[in-house]
Structure 1
Amino acid sequence: MDKKAAINLIEDTFNAHFSEEQFTLFARNLLNDLEPKSNAYSGNYIWDDYKDHINTYKRIGKYVDPEGEALDVLIVEVKSVLKLERARTALRNFVIKHLSKFEKDYALVAFYSKEDEGADWRFSYIKLEYRSELDEAKGKVKTKKEFTPAKRYSFLVGEYEKAHTAKNQLLPLLQNIANNPTVEELESAFSIEKVTDEFFNQYKDLYVKLFEHFENDTHIKAELAKANIDNARFTKKLLGQIVFLYFLQKKGWLGVPKDQVWGKGQKRFIQNLFDQSQSENANFFKDKLQFLFYEALAKERNNDNSFYKKFNCRIPFLNGGLFEAEYDWQNANISIPTSLFRNEEKNKAGDIGTGALDVFDRYNFTIKEDEPLDKEVAVDPEMLGKVFENMLEITERKSKGAFYTPREIVHYMCQESLIHYLDNSLNDTTASYQAIDSSQPALFPGSTDKKGNLKIELEHKGKVTVPKADIETYIREGHFALENDQRVANTGKETAAYKYQLPESIRQHAELINTKLTEIRICDPAIGSGAFPVGLLHELVNAMLVLKPHFSDKYLKEKLVKLGFENNGETLSVVEVNESRYIYRLKRHIIQESIYGVDIDASAIDIARLRLWLSLVVDEDDLDPIETLPNLDYKIVCGNSLINFPENWKSSVSEIIELMKDQFFNETNADIKKQLKISIDDVIADRMSSSEKTFGIQINFDFRLYFSEVWNEKGGFDVVIGNPPYGAKLTAEEKKFFKGEYSDVHMRTPDTFNYFISKGFRLLHNGGVLTYIVPNNLFFQSEYEKTRRFLLSKNQFHIGINLGDGVFNTATVPSSIFLSSRQNRGINNYFYSDIRNVNKKQIDFNSIFKKESISSTLKVPASVFGITQEEFGIIEQLRSVSVTIDDIAEEMASGISTGGDKIFRVADVLAEELKLEKDLLKPVLVGGEIDKYRLQDTHHSVIYTDRATQIKDFKATEAYLSEFKDKLSKRSEAKSGVMPWFALNRQRYPNLFEEDKIIMRQTSDKIRATFDQDGYYVIDSILVFKKDSSCDFSYKYLLSVLNSTALYFLYAKFTQEGGRTFAQVKPLNVRKLFVPKANQDNQKSISLLVDYLLFWNRYKEKNSIESQLFESVLDTTTFELFLGEELKSAGKEILKHLGDLKPITDQMSEEEKLAIIQSEFERLYDPNHPVRYAIETLDSIEEVRIIKEALK
Structure 2
Amino acid sequence: PAERAGEIAALLAAADAAAAAHHFLHWELAFPEVFFDAAGRPRPDGGFDAVIGNPPYVRQERIQPVKPFLAARYAVYSGTADLFLYFYERGLTLLKPEHRLGYITSGTFMNSNSAKPFRKYIHENAGLEWVANFGENQPFKGAEMVYPTITVMRRGGAKETFRNYFMAETVSRLRMGEIFAEAQWRNASSNVTELDEWRFQTADTTAVFRKITQGFQTLSNVLNDAIYYGIKTGLNDAFIVDTPTRNRLIAEDSRSAEIIKPLVRGEDLRPWYQIDSGEHLIFKAYLERFRSRLEPKPPTWDAKQGEWQGRKAGSYRWYEIQDNVAYHQEFALPKLFVPDIAKLPRFSFDETGKLCNDKGTIIRASSAVLGLLNSRPLWFVLSQIATPLRLRAGLWQYQAKLQFVERLPIPPLTADQESSLAALAEEITGIARARYGLHEAFRRRLRADLGEGAKLNTALESWWMLEFAVLRKEAVKAFKRDVPLNQRDEWEGYLADQRARHRDQTAQIMALETRLNQIVYQAFHLTPDEIALIETATQYPYGEV
- Alpha-carbon deviation of 1:789? 4.6
- Residue 1082, structure 1, aligned to residue 423, structure 2: no
- Alpha-carbon deviation of 1:1082? 1.9
Summarize deviations over 1:957-979 as a string: whole Å, max 9, x none: 323x46x9499999999354446
Residue in structure 2 matched with residue 635 of structure 1 by the alignment: 30
- Alpha-carbon deviation of 1:838? 4.3
- Residue 1041, structure 1, aligned to residue 372, structure 2: yes
Residue in structure 1 matched with residue 361 of structure 2 by the alignment: 1023
Summarize deviations over 1:248-297 as a string: whole Å, max 9, x none: xxxxxxxxxxxxxxxxxxxxxxxxxxxxxxxxxxxxxxxxxxxxxxxxxx
Question: In 2 relative to 1, CA 1043–1098 (structure 1 residues): closer, same or farther, beyond 3 Å?
Answer: same
Residue in structure 2 matched with residue 885 of structure 1 by the alignment: 219
2-structure distance, mates of 1:1011, 1:971 = 43
Kept in 2, the 8 Å contact 1:867–1:1053? The answer is: no
Question: In 2 relative to 1, CA 1188–741 (structure 1 residues): closer, same or farther, beyond 3 Å?
Answer: same
Amino acid at match of 2:399: Q
Q: With structure 1 as the length reference, what TM-score do the two structures score?
A: 0.33
Once superposed, what is the RMSD of the aligned Cα atoms?
4.1
- Alpha-carbon deviation of 1:942? 0.7
Amino acid at match of 1:787: F
Question: In 2 relative to 1, CA 971–776 (structure 1 residues): closer, same or farther, beyond 3 Å?
Answer: farther
Residue in structure 2 matched with residue 1184 of structure 1 by the alignment: 531
Kept in 1, the 8 Å contact 2:266–2:360? The answer is: yes
Question: In 2 relative to 1, CA 1086–971 (structure 1 residues): closer, same or farther, beyond 3 Å?
Answer: farther
Kept in 2, the 8 Å contact 1:1006–1:1065? The answer is: no
- Which of 969, 974, 977 aligns to 2:310? It is 974
Residue in structure 1 matched with residue 340 of structure 2 by the alignment: 1002
2-structure distance, mates of 1:943, 1:721 = 55
Question: In 2 relative to 1, CA 957–1055 (structure 1 residues): closer, same or farther, beyond 3 Å?
Answer: closer
Question: In 2 relative to 1, CA 1075–751 (structure 1 residues): closer, same or farther, beyond 3 Å?
Answer: same
Residue in structure 1 matched with residue 152 of structure 2 by the alignment: 819
Kept in 2, the 8 Å contact 1:798–1:819? The answer is: yes
- Which of 102, 105, 122 aligns to 1:774? It is 105
Kept in 2, the 8 Å contact 1:1001–1:1007? The answer is: no
Query: Larger C-alpha radius of gyration, 1 or 2?
Result: 1
Question: In 2 relative to 1, CA 1076–926 (structure 1 residues): closer, same or farther, beyond 3 Å?
Answer: same
Question: In 2 relative to 1, CA 1092–754 (structure 1 residues): closer, same or farther, beyond 3 Å?
Answer: same
Residue in structure 2 matched with residue 872 of structure 1 by the alignment: 206
Gaps of 5+ in 2: 1-12, 298-305, 439-501, 540-545
Question: In 2 relative to 1, CA 769–927 (structure 1 residues): closer, same or farther, beyond 3 Å?
Answer: same
1-structure distance, mates of 2:401, 2:131 = 24
- Residue 958, structure 1, aligned to residue 288, structure 2: yes
Question: In 2 relative to 1, CA 1097–802 (structure 1 residues): closer, same or farther, beyond 3 Å?
Answer: same
The higher-RCO structure (CA 8 Å, 6+ apart) is 2
Matches within 5 A, 1:157-236: none
Matches within 5 A, 1:65-84: none
- Residue 601, structure 1, aligned to residue 23, structure 2: yes
Summarize deviations over 1:600-648 as a string: whole Å, max 9, x none: 525x89xxxxxxxxxxxxxxxxxxxxxxxxxx993269xxxxxxxxxxx
2-structure distance, mates of 1:1053, 1:966 = 40
Amino acid at match of 2:30: K
Kept in 1, the 8 Å contact 2:338–2:348? The answer is: yes
Kept in 1, the 8 Å contact 2:165–2:186? The answer is: yes
Residue in structure 2 matched with residue 986 of structure 1 by the alignment: 323
2-structure distance, mates of 1:786, 1:633 = 26
Question: How many matched pairs?
Answer: 434
Gaps of 5+ in 1: 1-225, 234-395, 397-599, 606-631, 638-650, 660-707, 946-953, 1027-1033, 1127-1180
Question: In 2 relative to 1, CA 855–1069 (structure 1 residues): closer, same or farther, beyond 3 Å?
Answer: farther
Summarize deviations over 1:925-958 as a string: whole Å, max 9, x none: 112322222233445311235xxxxxxxx3x332
- Which of 392, 396, 402 aligns to 1:1067? It is 402
2-structure distance, mates of 1:1069, 1:785 = 15
- Alpha-carbon deviation of 1:819? 0.9
Matches within 5 A, 1:716-727: 716-725=47-56, 726-727=58-59
- Alpha-carbon deviation of 1:1120? 0.9
- Alpha-carbon deviation of 1:882? 2.5
Residue in structure 2 matched with residue 186 of structure 1 by the alignment: none
Matches within 5 A, 1:399-478: none
Q: Equivalent residue of 2:158, what SS? A: coil
- Residue 1114, structure 1, aligned to residue 449, structure 2: no
Question: In 2 relative to 1, CA 984–820 (structure 1 residues): closer, same or farther, beyond 3 Å?
Answer: same
Residue in structure 2 matched with residue 1013 of structure 1 by the alignment: 351
Q: With structure 2 as the length reference, what TM-score do the two structures score?
A: 0.67
Q: Equivalent residue of 2:348, what SS? A: strand
- Alpha-carbon deviation of 1:1093? 1.6
Q: Equivalent residue of 1:941, what SS? A: strand
2-structure distance, mates of 1:928, 1:227 = 48
Residue in structure 2 matched with residue 416 of structure 1 by the alignment: none
- Alpha-carbon deviation of 1:1087? 1.0
Matches within 5 A, 1:607-626: none
Amino acid at match of 1:895: G
Amino acid at match of 2:287: T
Summarize deviations over 1:782-828 as a string: whole Å, max 9, x none: 22134235435653112223346755568655343211112223322
Question: In 2 relative to 1, CA 924–799 (structure 1 residues): closer, same or farther, beyond 3 Å?
Answer: same
Q: Equivalent residue of 1:819, what SS? A: strand
2-structure distance, mates of 1:892, 1:837 = 37
Kept in 2, the 8 Å contact 1:974–1:980? The answer is: no
2-structure distance, mates of 1:775, 1:747 = 17
Kept in 2, the 8 Å contact 1:857–1:867? The answer is: no
Kept in 2, the 8 Å contact 1:1007–1:1065? The answer is: no
1-structure distance, mates of 2:257, 2:509 = 37
Matches within 5 A, 1:1033-1182: 1035-1055=366-386, 1057=388, 1059-1060=390-391, 1063-1100=398-435, 1104-1123=506-525, 1126=527, 1181-1182=528-529
- Which of 158, 166, 173 aligns to 1:833? It is 166
Q: Equivalent residue of 1:1095, what SS? A: helix
Residue in structure 2 matched with residue 904 of structure 1 by the alignment: 239
Question: In 2 relative to 1, CA 850–885 (structure 1 residues): closer, same or farther, beyond 3 Å?
Answer: farther
1-structure distance, mates of 2:220, 2:187 = 27
1-structure distance, mates of 2:15, 2:238 = 48
- Alpha-carbon deviation of 1:888? 2.8
Q: Equivalent residue of 2:342, what SS? A: coil
Give the % identical residues.
19
2-structure distance, mates of 1:833, 1:972 = 51
- Alpha-carbon deviation of 1:1000? 0.4
2-structure distance, mates of 1:231, 1:856 = 43
Q: Equivalent residue of 2:388, what SS? A: coil
Q: Equivalent residue of 1:1083, what SS? A: helix
2-structure distance, mates of 1:798, 1:906 = 56
Q: Equivalent residue of 2:341, what SS? A: coil
